[in-house]
Chains A and B, each alone.
Chain A
């Protein structure tokens, strides 16, 4: 069942991105930034975690979950350490993903040549 909801919810988030690009004529960079901000706001009002409960990877794989994870890390640290936790915790959850992307991209640049 989660596979079906992951497919539908994940697909719909991508369609929202496509609509932002085609109808609102946003550049891809603007589209991605908007989706991340949307994810952060949705987590702020407590909706994104419910979407993850419902759709699993359909909510965690799109870039919107990056905003959600940033807020989550900040709030978790803030609960433990007070206001300063917002600064120290903001990359707590997302650091694995960002590190992985940096490291593997760098390795790829070492090994592969640009195509065309």
Chain B
């Protein structure tokens, strides 16, 4: 009996440990996202920025003040420059001013901040965002 008790205790302990370990890693860290949002919002043409990050990927969208929309290509270039200044080469950032990307990232950012989304789901949502950033 003694052996079994020890084994059981060990099993339970391991499971608990594994569970807490998983919980800690179950969400995407948003450190890069905050950094990216701040970098883009620092531009005077940008009124607001949304960003979600996971591991070494950051997805950023910005709302540009309407009077600057005639210079949208330049604003995009500036934002990309600001982001490449903010991040090292090992972090890949994706920037878009598209309304769809803005809507998707706004929703996703809110969910991530509330913490009611798993890492797996976040990655899946970000893949959907990525689809709209091509071309």
Q: Which residues of A contact B (CB under 8 A)?
A: 1-2, 5, 49-51, 53-54
Contacts and interface: CB of A to CB of B under 8 A. Distances in A.
Interface in B34-91: 66, 69-73
Q: A-B pairs with the 6 shortest C-beta distances?
A: A53-B72, A1-B66, A54-B69, A53-B69, A54-B70, A50-B70
Contacts of A53: 69-70, 72-73
| Secondary structure of the A contact surface, majority rule | helix
A14 to B, nearest CB: 20
Interface residues of B, number: 6
A5 B66 CA distance: 9
B113 to A, nearest CB: 26
14 contacts: A1-B66, A2-B66, A5-B66, A50-B69, A50-B70, A50-B72, A50-B73, A53-B69, A53-B70, A53-B72, A53-B73, A54-B66, A54-B69, A54-B70
B45 to A, nearest CB: 12
Contacts of A1: 66
A53 B66 CA distance: 9
A5 B64 CA distance: 15
A53 B73 CA distance: 9
A49 B72 CA distance: 9
B71 A50 contact: yes
Contacts of B66: 1-2, 5, 54
A107 to B, nearest CB: 31
Residue among A49, A51, A53 with the most chain B CB within 10 A?
A: A53
Contacts of B69: 50, 53-54
B64 to A, nearest CB: 9
Given A2-B66, A54-B70, 5 more contacts: A5-B66, A49-B73, A50-B73, A53-B72, A54-B72
Nearest to A49: B73
B3 to A, nearest CB: 70
Nearest to A4: B66
A10 to B, nearest CB: 15
